[in-house]
Amino acid sequence: MILLSMVLALAGMGYSDTSRPNIVIILADDLGYGDIGCYGQRRIMTPNIDRLAQQGMRFTQAYAGSTVCAPSRCVLMTGLHTGHCRVRGNGGHTPMAQSLRQEDLTIAKILQKLGYATAAIGKWGLGDMGAAAPGLPWRQGFDYFFGYLNQTHAHNYYPTFLWENDQKVRLRNVVPDERPNGAGVATVRLDYSPDIIAERAISFIRDHKQGPFFLYYAPTIPHANNEAKGAGLEVPDLGPYKDMDWPTAQKAHAAMITRLDLHVGRIVQTLSELGIQDRTVVIFTSDNGPHAEGGNDPNFNDSNGPFRGIKRDLYEGGIRVPFIVAWPGKIDAGTVCQRIVWFADLLPTCAELAGAKIPAGLDGVSILDLLLGKPRADLDNRVLYWEFHERGFARAIRKERWKLVDPGGDRPIELYDIQEDPGETKNLSQRYPDIAIQLQRLMAASRTETPDWPVQSRIGKQDR
């Protein structure tokens, strides 16, 4: 009787398996806003991602957590922006700077406690063996992990091993110069890791079709392997671009994106075949803007779309990303949403989807109402903040139509009207000094100090 009473109580609170949707987050790696057909791409083929957008809601003002990998993923996982979250850059000043801690709250921890089967498959980058072990995915709420723990190791698409939880799964590739957990150049290329990772993601869905489950699928495509120099865009074949009159690097880059699209299509098709598509929320996005690495020229296929900047920039091209959410029967098909959303919104949204109480103290808010058709104009009035620790210390902040960029060092502050000038071509800081000062003060208040990521801020000193 006691057990039955508990079950009935949970059902009344919205925690029944039939009411809690499965959640799939697909996080591409260095995929630009303009790399996808439904966001304006003309030459790279992405029919499956385009179809996903037709089935759900496509956002035009969605922002990543950062302009590089690790901090962006930290924002996604924790609901805290880079002024507050644990991992604020690639690297850091201490051995633990790129690791979550035991006390950190993640999407997976919340869902795991509610009975969700949880898996992280692909690239992690928020904790590794050794000093950073508290950040390992199975210590951050994931029942199962398969892929790359170390983001440098993830550069190599033909590694000698991948991790399955804390065990190495040996592959047939040969990488003579592979460092421990690091990247290298494969001389024998037999096992293409993105294909293997996609298969594991599909297997997890099949094994947990009864639900509820949370799949964080983070493929490494189309990131470059910089260790491979001229062959830094590794793909088994050039696919439909083989005979194009393009540089080889651009053929490979396009082929990687189309291969990613194929994997996305297979995941969605698996949900359909299992009859669980209507009770599964699929979120597709990218960790930051497009790269200029491994021989890739982001201008060749207009990877950043109408925006200025790429990966490692705090201009729109570095942080505005594709963002698509599909949930058949719940989200109106073919919807285009212009509200401002960002990675910090994912934790509270997933919590609300699962029927959990949204934790206090987050930088994001749940956008579930927005997904279900409510206008939520208040989302555009929030303060969005980013900081970047490479090449000096840079920051950006957006509030309503205004965006302030502090490039760092002695370079002047830049103010843009994103509504009128999304390409950030006109610096209005001299025309609207009061707005610039107001945003500087908000920027100064958006950061908490941490020994892992210390800086000497110039913001605030100019206001005196």
Closest CA to 75 of 343, 445, 318, 287: 343
C-alpha span between 431 and 322 (Å, rounded) = 32
Range of the domain at 194: 18-375
3-state SS, residue 129: coil
Which CATH number fits the domain that encloses residue 436?
A: 3.30.1120.10
Q: Which residue has the higher pLDDT, 168 or 3?
A: 168
Do both 435 and 353 map to the same domain? no
Do both 401 and 338 map to the same domain? no
Do both 176 and 63 map to the same domain? yes
- Res 15 pLDDT > 90: no
Q: In this predicted structure, what is the pLDDT of residue 131?
A: 86
Q: How many residues does the chain have?
A: 464
pLDDT level of residue 95 (50, 70, 90 thresholds): confident
Reported as a single tens digit per residue, the pLDDT across 281-298 is 999 999 999 999 999 999
- Examine residue 142 and state whether it is found in any structural domain, yes or no: yes
Do both 363 and 440 map to the same domain? no
146 CB contacts (<8 Å, ≥6 apart)? 119, 121, 122, 162, 163, 164, 165, 169, 197, 200
- Examine residue 3 and state whether it is found in any structural domain, yes or no: no
Reported as a single tens digit per residue, the pLDDT across 307-343 is 999 999 999 999 999 999 999 999 999 999 999 999 9
Percent of the residues in the chain that have a pLDDT greater than 90, as a whole number? 88
Q: Are 102 and 82 in contact (CB under 8 A)?
A: no
Q: In this predicted structure, what is the pLDDT of residue 359?
A: 98
Do both 369 and 415 map to the same domain? no
pLDDT level of residue 456 (50, 70, 90 thresholds): low
Which CATH number fits the domain that encloses residue 58?
A: 3.40.720.10
Total Cβ atoms within 10 A of residue 457: 14
C-alpha span between 122 and 102 (Å, rounded) = 21
Number of domains composing the chain = 2
433 vs 96, 259, 415, CA distance in Å? Answer: 40, 47, 9
C-alpha span between 108 and 115 (Å, rounded) = 11
- Examine residue 218 and state whether it is found in any structural domain, yes or no: yes
Q: Which residue has the higher pLDDT, 392 or 325?
A: 325
- Examine residue 69 and state whether it is found in any structural domain, yes or no: yes
Percent of the residues in the chain that have a pLDDT greater than 70, as a whole number? 94
What number is the average pLDDT over the span 433-454?
Answer: 96
3-state SS, residue 217: strand
| Cα R_g (the chain), whole angstroms | 21
User: Alpha helix (H) ranges present in 393-455?
Assistant: 433-444
Do both 263 and 124 map to the same domain? yes
Q: Which two structure tokens, joined as six digits, stand for 255?
A: 């082929």
Question: Cα torsion for 9, 11, 17, 22, to the nearest 10°?
Answer: -100
pLDDT level of residue 3 (50, 70, 90 thresholds): very low
